């Protein structure tokens, strides 16, 4: 067979991933904050781009944050044992192997805010000019005091409590390792090794720091933090010491075991538990503050007068970018060499692509969000019990898009509804078959029904997982016992044995 060269024409279809297409895909999955940062970078690099007249750049709303945002703030007092048994949830679960949200019932008020620092007293001469009050207007900045941080507060006290220069250096190093909750995040041995000091010196300095204000600061774990505060109150007797050493039993509400360990009766144990609950597990939160960034929704859903739902984009999250054609015409006329002409042409091409990509991104988000609202209209009208099973393929087929496009659109995007702010991925839930062969149920709706059943149970009639399965099947939901247990554990609801113990203890 002879080999020869020849020319052939062949027509094929292929997807070429150009840099513009790759950037468009990247823009599609960016959150509003990441998109604003990306656009700011393009505005700095491209001289032909300019911000729209009504766009002041990325900014968080000055109004009150949406519902649920305030719940994300850190607190320092209240029924805290149900939240932490160590400085973090991960450390708590690893150290004790138990969940602590059900240690005590919620009193309804949540956690108390950190104690406020009393405002300083100001003289009428504060901020006045050299001629006194009548010399000019008040300087408003003179009336604003800087917020004291925890590290600065501890450093001021350490300067009076420690005089040795070497010990001061060790103390400052330890203060820098204290987190915002007031706990020491490092290890004494590693600190001694890094500073070239003895472990005894480091422990001596740490013991001094633990006597500073606020009580409980510089503790290495929750047990030590509570012990420091109890010693400050002169309440760290042997019984209380045994109680602090067995916080895992307190988390499980195993009161008989606590009575045996502490050697006290019911009345004394009740008083000791009340004493523990009055302590501050995170003393450092009284100083400084952490700015809570509220979630800014990308899509707004409102009820229309005709009973339908109106879906629109949040204009605050859409960057307004324009191409300065006048500046381009002036610069294009002044270019003399090919390098400058190529640069200006590339800038114009990049700017044009960015404007089109932003417009296409907004249209795609609106299209996907409208289909989600259409599919989940029962949720918006009647609540989470009417949330339908939904997957990416259903939405993608309805709007003639690929599943990957829908997945990117729903990533890091939020929808503001009359029922709150939800991530777009929240509306995609798996399905659970119906017991009578009817329409399938949403997994989120089933979880909501499980929580309702548990919330309505009485101390004398605590529902086991098998009983919950029977009740759900009676309501037409075909679900296995292991699925009920998985959903219950995901919602951090304890077992029936622990719930019965807690409800009986609360009734007493």
> Contact at 8 Å (CB) between 450 and 442?
no
Query: Which residues pair with residue 27 across a beta bridge?
Result: none
**Domain ranges (residues) in the chain:** 19-59+294-427, 89-107+147-286, 431-507
In this predicted structure, the answer to whether residue 382 has a pLDDT above a threshold of 90 is no
The pTM assigned to this predicted structure is 0.52
Where is pLDDT greater, at 22 or 221?
Answer: 221
Q: What is the pLDDT of residues 331-379, one digit of tens each?
A: 888 878 888 889 988 999 889 999 999 999 999 999 999 999 998 888 8
Q: What is the pLDDT of residues 247-306, one digit of tens each?
A: 888 888 888 888 888 888 888 888 888 888 888 888 888 876 545 567 889 999 998 888
How many whole angstroms separate alpha carbon 45 and alpha carbon 49? Answer: 9
Q: What is the rounded radius of gyration, in angstroms, for the C-alpha atoms of the chain?
A: 31
Q: Look up residue 180 and give its DSSP letter.
A: T
> Contact at 8 Å (CB) between 414 and 61?
no
The pLDDT assigned to 96 comes to 39
Q: What is the pLDDT of residues 441-493, one digit of tens each?
A: 777 788 888 888 888 888 888 888 888 888 888 888 888 888 888 888 888 88
Across 5-9, 403-407, 448-452, 502-506, least confident range: 502-506
The dihedral formed by the CA atoms of 351, 356, 361 and 366, expressed in degrees to the nearest 10: 140
Query: Which residues pair with residue 417 across a beta bridge?
Result: 420
DSSP string, 301-332: EEE-TTSSEEEEE-GGGS--EEE-HHHHHHHH
Which sign does the torsion angle of CA 159, 162, 166, 172 carry? negative
CATH classification code of 431-507:
1.10.10
Q: Mean pLDDT of all residues in the chain?
A: 77
Q: Look up residue 72 and give its DSSP letter.
A: G
Of the candidates 361, 444, 352, the one whose C-alpha atom is nearest the C-alpha of residue 405 is 361
| Angle, alpha carbons 426-457-254 (nearest 5°) | 100
In this prediction, residue 432 has a pLDDT band, given cuts at 50, 70 and 90, of low
Q: What percent of the chain has pLDDT over 90?
A: 9
The pLDDT assigned to 181 comes to 86
How many whole angstroms separate alpha carbon 370 and alpha carbon 415? Answer: 11
In this predicted structure, the answer to whether residue 65 has a pLDDT above a threshold of 50 is no
The pLDDT assigned to 15 comes to 66
Q: Look up residue 282 and give its DSSP letter.
A: -
First to last CA, the chain: 98
């Amino acid at each position: 067979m002879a080999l020869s060269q020849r020319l052939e024409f062949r027509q094929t279809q292929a997807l070429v991933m150009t840099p513009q297409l790759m950037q468009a895909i990247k823009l599609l999955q960016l959150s509003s904050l990441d998109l604003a940062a990306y656009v700011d970078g393009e505005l700095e690099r491209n001289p032909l781009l300019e911000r729209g007249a009504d766009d002041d750049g990325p900014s968080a709303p000055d109004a009150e944050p949406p519902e649920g945002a305030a719940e994300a703030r850190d607190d320092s007092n209240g029924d805290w044992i149900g939240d932490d048994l160590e400085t973090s949830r991960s450390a708590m679960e690893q150290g004790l192997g138990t969940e602590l949200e059900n240690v005590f019932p919620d009193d309804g008020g949540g956690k108390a805010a950190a104690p406020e620092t009393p405002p300083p007293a100001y003289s009428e001469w504060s901020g006045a000019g050299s001629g006194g009050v009548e010399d000019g207007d008040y300087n408003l900045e003179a009336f604003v005091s800087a917020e004291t941080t925890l590290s600065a507060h501890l450093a001021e006290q350490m300067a009076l409590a420690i005089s040795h220069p070497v010990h001061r250096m060790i103390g400052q190093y330890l203060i820098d390792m204290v987190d915002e909750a007031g706990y020491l995040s490092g290890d004494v041995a590693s600190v001694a090794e890094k500073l070239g000091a003895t472990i005894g010196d480091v422990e001596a300095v740490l013991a001094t720091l633990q006597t500073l204000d606020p009580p409980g600061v510089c503790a290495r774990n929750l047990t030590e933090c509570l012990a420091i505060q109890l010693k400050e109150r002169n309440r760290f007797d042997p019984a209380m010491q045994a109680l602090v050493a067995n916080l895992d039993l307190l988390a499980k509400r195993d009161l008989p075991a606590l009575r045996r360990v502490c050697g006290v009766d019911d009345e004394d144990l009740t008083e000791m538990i009340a004493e523990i609950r009055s302590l501050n597990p995170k003393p450092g939160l009284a100083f400084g503050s952490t700015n809570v960034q509220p979630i800014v929704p990308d899509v707004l859903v409102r009820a229309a007068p005709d009973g339908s739902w109106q879906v629109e984009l949040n204009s605050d999250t859409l960057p307004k970018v324009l191409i300065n054609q006048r500046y381009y015409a002036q610069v294009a006329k002044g270019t003399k060499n090919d390098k400058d002409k190529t640069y200006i042409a590339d800038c114009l091409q990049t700017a044009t692509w960015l404007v089109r990509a932003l417009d296409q991104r907004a249209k795609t988000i609106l299209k996907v969000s409208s289909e989600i609202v259409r599919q989940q209209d029962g949720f918006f009208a009647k609540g989470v019990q009417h949330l339908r099973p939904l997957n990416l393929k259903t939405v993608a087929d309805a709007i003639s898009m690929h599943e990957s496009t829908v997945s990117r659109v729903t990533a890091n995007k939020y929808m503001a509804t009359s029922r709150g702010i939800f991530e777009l991925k929240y509306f995609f839930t798996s399905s659970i078959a119906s017991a009578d062969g009817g329409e399938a149920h949403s997994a989120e709706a089933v979880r909501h029904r499980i929580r309702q059943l548990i919330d309505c149970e009485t101390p004398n009639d605590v529902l086991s997982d098998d009983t919950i399965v029977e009740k759900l099947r009676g309501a037409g939901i075909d679900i296995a016992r292991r699925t009920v247990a998985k959903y219950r554990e995901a919602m951090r609801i304890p077992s029936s044995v622990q719930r019965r113990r807690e409800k009986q203890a609360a009734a007493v």
